[in-house]
Amino acid sequence: MTVADLPEVLAIERASYPTPWSERAFRSELMHNSYGHYLVALYEGKVVGYAGMWIVLDEAHITNIAVHPDYRGRGFGHLILSEMEKRAVEQGCTRMTLEVRPSNHVARRLYQRHGFVARGIRKGYYSDTQEDAIIMWKDRLP
């Protein structure tokens, strides 16, 4: 992901989340966070999805992942998550974590298919609804 991708990334972010990250947040991640790793998924030259993660020591933390609504259900989420796992391994990570809303059944199924297991709850994690977050871990990256 580059700053040039941000208009398309922000459109997907706004369509995907009730409290989307701002352009400033993405710019800060891309330009100033040495732990951050971000990518976009392209289909026919168009950004159709993206993901980000922070890598600290041997752990990768997925910060965000989204697919444009018009391209959901076509396997892009699987491809994006697989690529993030691959890149995490290349950076020396052995495990990966993320948070997900209990109400996001589609994402939870994707993560479970990738071997993520629920390990805890963050109470009131999502500020828009005070919904809890399920903390999921994958302990053995490929």
| Active-site amino acid positions | 99, 111
**CB neighbour list of residue 73: distance below 8 Å, 6 or more residues apart:** none
Q: Which of 40, 38, 16 is nearest to 26 (CA)?
A: 38
Tell me the torsion sign for CA atoms 39, 44, 45, 48. Answer: negative
* H-state helical runs in 1-142: 6-16, 23-32, 76-90, 105-113
